[in-house]
A and B are shown apart, each in its own frame.
Chain A
């Protein structure tokens, strides 16, 4: 009995010691020895934090790493990709790491207003001097640099690729079968909706849409089409009145457009909505130009099997979103991070990455002749169109605003609020 007690005490003691050791171990392990020369721009390695863990995104990252290893052979690339939930798992983990002051050397983020929270929290550095150093200010369109800069002229990330949000994808076979001219061009939403009416009468789904974020995506393109580029951009800096009658008219168009959509939308994500067009169950789909990969993967030919055009009324504007890389404050290997950012901004890096991912380079001096047909047309538009920031993809508004707009939109499209309530909820959301 006595022995038993002593043993139990020993075991308990050992357990305690073990606990204490684990506690110490947990705190000390961050980034494997990078602390030695934090100030000196340690470039021995670079941990790149992304959510590019599968599919064309992973192919793009691999291609970019290939260029990186050529340009910076002395810096070891450490892949910090986190899979799951279209980036939400990665963002969750990133939030925790930044909070614990254990940042990766560089992380992926949507360019634009989505960075505002990190900026406010002093978690990322101004990289505008790197723009000068790498010559990016001239290589990117001036419009884009404007959109990326904060009010005091700082820029906090370097974009690796550009996507366009205001694109309509169509199935010409469905259009022809139901008496709509697949070659037709539409000047504005009203002209388009006349054809959507025809399709609805014919019994096909005129417009496919998926869950809330794709509805917000549709909303932003409608706002852009009805208000025009300048007033649309004014929504995000306060110079356009959300309560105004122009916005009311745009929301009425949005309401009408939602009336043409499939009823199971809230249970779908964008691939299923785009698939409805591919399969001929729906005529049109408004989706960002990553959708082109879905058509290409299934061996569909542009022109014959699918067509695309800017959302009617938004021709001449390029509703952009971009993935970009940052320089976190207190990165263990800032030298490595700068090397990575240089590759991300370089013409070789942008060409390799975007060819594999299916997007277009942010630089206008990349030779586009080896890119796909859609990408060539998008790059041309990107060089000449007015560039505006996408709402649904973090370029136009901070996360909290986007979440509030998403909530209001879901409430409206499920029928729980009327247009007037929706408009005032949007106005409140934009005010923050």
Chain B
């Protein structure tokens, strides 16, 4: 008993500060958030206890999910995430594939592709807001002007001001910023595959396509999964990029994170907490299976 305490004690003491911090500031606050989200705390007076608030369980969630506005936000989030994921995966894989062949200046290109990630979303958002200006014709600027100059006038469009698909335009800067990161992941994956495997496959007469299909892709799949999870959860939490290109009140670019901000600024803490909880659940749906999966494969 004493001996086991002695053995477990010091490591436990070492871990305790971070356990307490994480316990209070992450899980404790998640708990507070959930408990706020099941009340009818919709006004400043209730938040300060001037007026009573009562527990209404899940009616905030049901009300939110029932409104057209929130459904629009969720749809925007899905469209944004799918575009962001497909875009970064394709671009990232493509660049990694190109750079994997021994070419000159690989280090240079690697840095070039990775650099956009060093720019903050807010800073790049300001520039992209100008690039994605929705004016067409004579008063066009940004990308629309560029299209005119190179004779591709038909490509002009109103970018993020389209009611249904405007959110896809905001995925463009997001893809631009994160593709380099996915490339770095894939490149590491390619480098992790021993040359012998390729040689062996070639010796056995595998075509280049078969080599990729049956030897390289299976080796890369854990990398692809990690990239999907990382980009996916970043996309679900996207807020700063959208806020710096668009504005919180703009209907065409609403996502749940923006709704949460607007609710909070209206002193509607219960709905803000409910949106936060919904976001957390969506992220958990994406991440938890991955954690379970990787936990299992580690044990194996």
B226 at the interface (CB under 8 A from A): no
In the complex, the answer to whether B69 meets A407 with C-beta atoms within 8 Å is: yes
A110 located at the interface, meaning its Cβ lies under 8 Å from any Cβ of chain B in the complex: no
A232: interface (CB < 8 Å): no
Could you tell me if A407 and B249 are in contact, using CB atoms closer than 8 angstroms?
Answer: yes
A377: which B residues are within 8 A, CB to CB? none
Given known A121-B48, A399-B266, A407-B69, contact A266–B134 (CB-CB < 8 A):
yes
* B262, A403: Cβ atoms closer than 8 Å: yes
Contacts of A88 in B (CB 8 A): 265
Q: Which residues of A contact B129 (CB under 8 A)?
A: 267
- Tell me the residues in window 1-44 of chain A with beta carbons closer than 8 Å to chain B beta carbons: 5-6, 8-9, 11-13, 15-16, 19
Given contacts A5-B10, A9-B13, contact A120 B250 (CB under 8 A): no
Contact A414 B252 (CB under 8 A): yes
Q: How large is the interface on B (under 10, 10 to 19, 20 to 34, 35 or more residues)?
A: 35 or more
Beyond A121-B44, A267-B134, A399-B266, is A8–B13 a contact (Cβ under 8 Å)?
yes
Residues of A within 8 Å of B10, CB to CB, are 5-6, 8-9, 12
**How far, in Å, is B39 (CB) from chain A's closest CB?**
15
Contacts of B264 in A (CB 8 A): 95
Answer yes or no: A281 CB below 8 A from chain B CBs.
yes
Number of interface residues of A (CB under 8 A): 44
In angstroms, Cα B138 to Cα A266, docked, is: 18
Whether a CB of chain A sits under 8 angstroms from the CB of B295 is no
CB of A142 within 8 A of chain B? Answer: no
When distances are taken between beta carbons in the complex, the residues of chain A under 8 Å from B20 are: 19
- Say whether B246 contacts A267, CB under 8 Å: yes
A interface SS class: helix
- Asked if A212 is at the interface (CB within 8 A of a chain B CB), the reply is yes
Q: Interface 1/0s, chain A 165-180, versus B by CB < 8 A? A: 0000000000000000
**Contact A411-B251, Cβ < 8 Å, known A262-B139, A263-B158:** yes
- Render B110-144 as a binary contact track against A, CB cut-off 8 A, 1 for contact: 00000000000000000001001111101100000
Are B47 and A121 in contact, with the CB atoms below 8 A? yes
A91 lies within 8 A of chain B by Cβ: yes
Q: How many Å lie between the Cα of A15 and that of B14 in the bound state?
A: 9
Contact A15 B17 (CB under 8 A): yes
Say yes or no for A211: interface residue by CB 8 A criterion: yes
Complex CA distance for A212 and B250, rounded to whole angstroms: 7
Q: Among the listed A16, A122, A407, which residue makes an inter-chain contact with B251, where contact means beta carbons less than 8 Å apart?
A: A407
Determine whether the beta carbon of B45 is less than 8 Å from that of A19.
Answer: no
Q: Give the residues in chain A near B252, CB-CB below 8 Å.
A: 266, 410, 414, 416
In contact, B265 and A263 (Cβ under 8 angstroms): no
- Expressed in whole angstroms, the Cα–Cα distance for A133 and B251 within the complex equals 47
Given A9-B13, A263-B134, A266-B161, verify A212-B247 contact (CB < 8 Å). yes
Q: Contacts A9-B10, A407-B69, A414-B161 known; A213 to B249 CB distance under 8 Å? A: yes
Contact between B265 and A123, CB atoms less than 8 A apart: no
A92 and B262 CA atoms in complex are apart in Å by 11
Inter-chain contacts of A92 with B (CB < 8 A):
265
The answer to whether A400 and B266 touch across the interface, beta carbons within 8 angstroms, is: yes
8 A Cβ contacts from B129-171 to A: 129, 132-136, 138-139, 158, 160-161, 163
Our pick among B16, B69, B163, B266 for the contact of A415 (Cβ within 8 Å) is: B163
Give residues 73-112 of B contacting A (CB, 8 Å): none
Interface residues of A in 94-140 (CB under 8 A from B): 95, 98-99, 117-118, 120-123
Max count, chain A CB within 10 A of own CB: residue among B43, B129, B160, B251:
B251
Quick check: is B298 within 8 A (CB to CB) of the other chain?
no
> In whole angstroms, what is the CA distance A416 to B75 when docked?
14
B31 sits at the interface (CB 8 A): no
Q: Which 4 A-B pairs have CB atoms at the shortest separation, nearest pair first?
A: A120-B45, A212-B249, A12-B13, A117-B44
A selection of 15 A-B contacts at a CB cut-off of 8 Å is A9-B9, A12-B17, A95-B265, A117-B44, A118-B44, A120-B51, A121-B48, A212-B249, A263-B158, A266-B252, A400-B266, A410-B250, A410-B252, A414-B252, A416-B163
User: What would 4 more interface pairs be, CB under 8 Å, given A263-B135, A267-B246?
Assistant: A8-B10, A19-B21, A92-B265, A266-B246
